[in-house]
């Protein structure tokens, strides 16, 4: 076959743009922070830096991070897969609503959720009898609460596009529902499950506000430790060592998922048709109902407390959010802040989705040699790093790395969406790349052989499998961008606060009214997100006929 120069040149070019973005806005800042820690004043100080690893506290922190994240991931996956089945495969009413509900925690400021959880679990709360306040069980519950949407959406999206005929054939040959699930469906879902599990693990290990709020002083993860070491102790050496450790974990995880997902190509020809509910679905329905109640409990707490005015009930907190000047802390109305958030998140989503598409195309290319495969795997890992590296490191890194023209961007308004896009980008890749992998390369080759140029090949072959995952990725990226506060909070932002910033301002002020308003603002943020996600879903449902 004739080889076009475009076949290697184009991917290389496509890789260059996202790589440049990542290099400037992530690798450079992180490297600068690590260098500040390990190579201050032009001399390597590895010895004293490694001392942090010998501290007993560090050992405890590492161990806790490892087991709580593993356990959190396991439970999230075990709960998430049946929910994905119920909400994406069964012909049931209200599944769209359930999906919207499950994604709400994703955007809620972690401190607010932490407080909602604590209100439930505190000695005086309705679940106080569990004695979970300040315990690891509380942290675990919150981790599952936050991440369940990742599994439901990633796995559900793939489930929807599975070719149902395989399962039908197995059933026709006499396999029971469990056998079908075990031998046909689960293997086909494996890439999505592994991919989601990896993201959840990284989110668990990197969760910060939840662990701080619910763990009190007893529990600390690598992420909270880096935060404390950096902001409180300004111990950049120790923080650098822990950041490197985080990077190593991300790379190891990625190699592991690579191993686990390799060799399971699946033709995705599903039309998204729903099947009728059978009696065998009962356990899944029960799990879904329980999970909904579990997600609802803290949300209801939030809503109730946002409506609580003194000893009575009312919309006062909501009303005050819309009046500038009624509360001095509030320099803009909640609608203005919401608009700012939405705009920043739109920018972030555009950046993340465009770059994510490019990255996905490149890393899903078939490499002809082992060396090529390794390059692609390394590339894949590089783009996952932002999920695993501490927001403090990135945030402060911006400050010290992007401080010289032409890159003096430290107070550029665009830096906020860029920071959000960094977190969203890996998620886009994780959703889009598996879909691209499922394209039979022979289809592309056939199209090319018939004389189609690269764009034509894309339009005729890839676009068709890409649409649904792409919409899912857009929704995901958008939710992540709306809720991102970690790295954002370290950036010197020109005023025009986003809604999460307003919520933190309100919550940090003494006074019951401020607290009520913070909760009201959180409820608005979560509701708007759920609505946006539902609209994206609708778009996705309509396009099912492609």
Partner 1 sequence: MFRTSRTVLVAAVAGVLSVSLASCSTTGDSGSDTSSASSSGSSAGGSSAPKQTTVRLVTHDSFVAPKELLAQFTKETGYQVQVLASGDAGKLANSVVLAKGNPTGDVVFGIDNTFASRVVDAGALTPYTSAKLPQGADKYALTGEAAKSLTPIDFGDVCVNVDDAWFAAHKKAKPNSLDDLTKPEYKDLFVTPGAATSSPGMAFLLATIAKYGDNGWQDYWKKLKANGVKVTSGWSDAWSVDYTAGGGKGSRPIVLSYNTSPADTVKDGKATTSAMTDSCFRQVEYAGVLKGAKNEPGAQAFIDFLLGKTFQASMPANMYVFPVDPAVAIPAQWKAAVTVPDKTLEVDPAKITANRDKWLREWQDTVSG
**C-alpha to C-alpha distance for 193 and 172, rounded to whole angstroms:** 26
Q: Is 62 in the site for partner 1 (CB under 8 A)?
A: no
Q: How many CB atoms lie within 10 A of CB 174?
A: 7
Binding partner 1 (rule: CB under 8 A), the pick from 496, 528, 534, 541 is: 496
Q: Is 444 in the site for partner 1 (CB under 8 A)?
A: no
Question: Of the ranges 93-101, 196-204, 414-422, 449-457, which one interacts with partner 1 (CB under 8 A)?
Answer: 414-422
Binding partner 1 (rule: CB under 8 A), the pick from 39, 190, 373, 410 is: 410
**C-alpha to C-alpha distance for 367 and 388, rounded to whole angstroms:** 26
Nearest to 330 by CA among 514, 115, 491, 483: 514
Question: Of the ranges 79-87, 139-147, 173-181, 492-500, which one interacts with partner 1 (CB under 8 A)?
Answer: 492-500
Q: Which two tokens stand for residue 108?
A: 């809620």
Q: Is 333 in the site for partner 1 (CB under 8 A)?
A: no
Least Cβ distance, residue 233 to partner 1 (angstroms): 5
Q: How many CA atoms lie within 13 Å of 316's alpha carbon, on the beta-carbon side?
A: 15
Binding partner 1 (rule: CB under 8 A), the pick from 62, 130, 228, 377 is: 228
> Among residues 264 and 308, whose Cβ is nearest to partner 1?
308
Q: How many CB atoms lie within 10 A of CB 8?
A: 13
Q: Is 538 in the site for partner 1 (CB under 8 A)?
A: no
**C-alpha to C-alpha distance for 97 and 534, rounded to whole angstroms:** 8
Residues of this chain, 234-253, that bind partner 1 according to CB under 8 A: 234-235
Binding partner 1 (rule: CB under 8 A), the pick from 132, 146, 201, 515 is: 515
> Among residues 296 and 400, whose Cβ is nearest to partner 1?
400
Burial class (CB in 10 A: 0-12, 13-18, 19+), 10: middle
According to DSSP, residue 162 is labeled S
**C-alpha to C-alpha distance for 43 and 237, rounded to whole angstroms:** 12
Residues of this chain, 205-224, that bind partner 1 according to CB under 8 A: 212-213, 215-218
Q: Is 257 in the site for partner 1 (CB under 8 A)?
A: no
Burial class (CB in 10 A: 0-12, 13-18, 19+), 175: middle
Q: Is 172 in the site for partner 1 (CB under 8 A)?
A: no
> Among residues 292 and 348, whose Cβ is nearest to partner 1?
348
Q: Please list the alpha-helical segments (H only) found in 90-135.
A: 95-107, 110-121
Q: Is 233 in the site for partner 1 (CB under 8 A)?
A: yes
Binding partner 1 (rule: CB under 8 A), the pick from 40, 96, 134, 270 is: 134
Residues of this chain, 98-127, that bind partner 1 according to CB under 8 A: 111, 114-115, 118-119, 122-125
Least Cβ distance, residue 416 to partner 1 (angstroms): 7
Q: Is 413 in the site for partner 1 (CB under 8 A)?
A: yes
Instruction: Draw the binding track, 445-484, toward partner 1 (x: CB under 8 A; -: no contact).
Output: ---------------x------------------------
Nearest to 220 by CA among 198, 197, 242, 252: 242
Burial class (CB in 10 A: 0-12, 13-18, 19+), 255: middle
Residues of this chain, 68-97, that bind partner 1 according to CB under 8 A: none
Task: State the residue for tokens 């707490």.
Answer: 301
Question: Of the ranges 11-19, 175-183, 274-282, 502-510, which one interacts with partner 1 (CB under 8 A)?
Answer: 502-510
């Amino acid at each position: 076959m004739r080889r076009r120069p475009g076949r290697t040149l184009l991917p290389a070019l496509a890789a260059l743009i996202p790589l440049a973005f990542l290099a400037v806005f992530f690798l450079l800042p992180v490297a600068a922070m690590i260098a500040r820690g390990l190579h201050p004043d032009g001399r390597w100080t590895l010895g004293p830096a490694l001392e942090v690893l010998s501290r007993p506290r560090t050992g405890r922190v590492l161990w806790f991070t490892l087991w709580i994240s593993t356990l959190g991931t396991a439970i999230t996956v075990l709960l998430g897969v049946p929910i994905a089945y119920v909400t994406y495969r069964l012909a049931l009413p209200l599944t769209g609503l359930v999906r919207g509900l499950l994604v709400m925690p994703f955007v809620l400021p972690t401190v607010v959720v932490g407080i909602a959880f604590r209100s439930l679990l505190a000695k005086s709360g309705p679940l106080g009898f569990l004695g979970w306040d300040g315990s690891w069980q509380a942290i675990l519950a919150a981790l599952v609460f936050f991440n369940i949407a990742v599994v439901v959406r990633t796995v559900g999206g793939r489930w929807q596009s599975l070719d149902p005929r395989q399962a039908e054939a197995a059933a026709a040959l006499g396999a029971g529902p469990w056998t079908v699930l075990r031998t046909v469906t689960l293997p086909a879902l494996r890439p999505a499950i592994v991919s989601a599990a990896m993201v959840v693990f990284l989110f668990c290990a990197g969760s910060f506000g939840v662990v701080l709020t619910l763990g009190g002083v007893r529990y600390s993860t690598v992420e909270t430790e880096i935060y404390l070491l950096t902001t409180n102790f300004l111990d950049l050496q120790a923080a650098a060592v822990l950041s490197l450790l985080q990077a190593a974990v991300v790379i190891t995880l990625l190699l592991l998922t690579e191993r686990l997902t390799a060799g399971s190509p699946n033709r995705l020809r599903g039309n998204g048709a729903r099947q009728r509910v059978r009696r065998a679905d009962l356990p899944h329905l029960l799990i879904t109902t329980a999970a909904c109640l579990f997600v609802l409990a803290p949300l209801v707490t939030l809503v109730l407390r946002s409506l609580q005015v003194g000893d009575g009930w009312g919309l006062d907190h909501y009303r005050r959010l819309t009046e500038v000047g009624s509360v001095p802390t509030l320099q803009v109305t909640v609608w203005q802040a919401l608009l700012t958030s939405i705009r920043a998140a739109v920018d972030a989503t555009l950046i993340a989705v465009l770059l994510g598409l490019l990255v996905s195309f490149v890393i899903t290319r078939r490499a002809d040699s082992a060396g090529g495969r390794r390059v692609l795997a390394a590339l894949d890992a590089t783009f996952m790093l932002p999920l695993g590296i501490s927001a403090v490191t990135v945030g402060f890194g911006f400050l010290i790395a992007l401080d010289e023209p032409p890159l003096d961007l430290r107070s550029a308004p665009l830096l906020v969406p860029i920071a959000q896009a960094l977190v969203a980008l890996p998620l886009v890749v994780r959703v889009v790349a598996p879909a691209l992998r499922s394209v039979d390369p022979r289809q592309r080759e056939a199209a090319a052989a018939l004389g189609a140029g690269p764009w034509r090949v894309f339009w005729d072959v890839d676009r068709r499998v890409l649409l649904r995952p792409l919409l899912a990725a857009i929704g995901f990226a958008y939710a992540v961008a709306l809720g991102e506060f970690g790295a954002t909070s370290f950036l010197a932002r020109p005023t025009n606060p986003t809604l999460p910033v307003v919520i933190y301002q309100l919550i940090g002020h003494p006074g019951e009214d401020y607290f009520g308003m913070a909760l009201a603002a959180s409820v608005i943020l979560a509701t708007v997100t759920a609505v946006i996600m539902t609209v994206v879903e609708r778009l996705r449902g309509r396009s099912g006929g492609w």
